[in-house]
Amino acid sequence: MPKAWVYILECAEGSYYTGNAINLESRLYQHQIGEGGSWTKGRLPVKLVFCQYMPSKEDAYLAEQQIKGWSRAKKKALIEGNWDLVKYLAKKPAFRK
């Protein structure tokens, strides 16, 4: 089973795009020339701000879907490697202390 990547791009206007790819370098090139996702096509240039190697394409897809459901603040914490904040933001607001 091929290994894959989950990644986050920061678009020119500051939004985040999350995706997955088997060949990360090739996929990033596609985004940069406007042949990536429709979201990034109109928000060029894009910059890779996070990537993580995953054991399989399925794992990369599942990670992508999970991250897409996160708040901007939680994505930013992931990008910065702030795992304490990621865990904190994973809690429902009523349980954050």
- Residues shown for the chain: 97
**What pLDDT, on the 0 to 100 scale, is given for residue 86?**
95
pLDDT digits (tens, 9 = 90+) for 25-75: 999 999 999 998 889 999 999 999 999 999 999 999 999 999 999 999 999
Please indicate, yes or no, whether the overall pTM of this predicted structure exceeds 0.85.
yes
Coil, strand or helix at 18? strand
Which domains does the chain carry? Answer: 4-70 (3.40.1440.10)
Q: Name residue 95's amino acid.
A: F
**What pLDDT, on the 0 to 100 scale, is given for residue 1?**
67
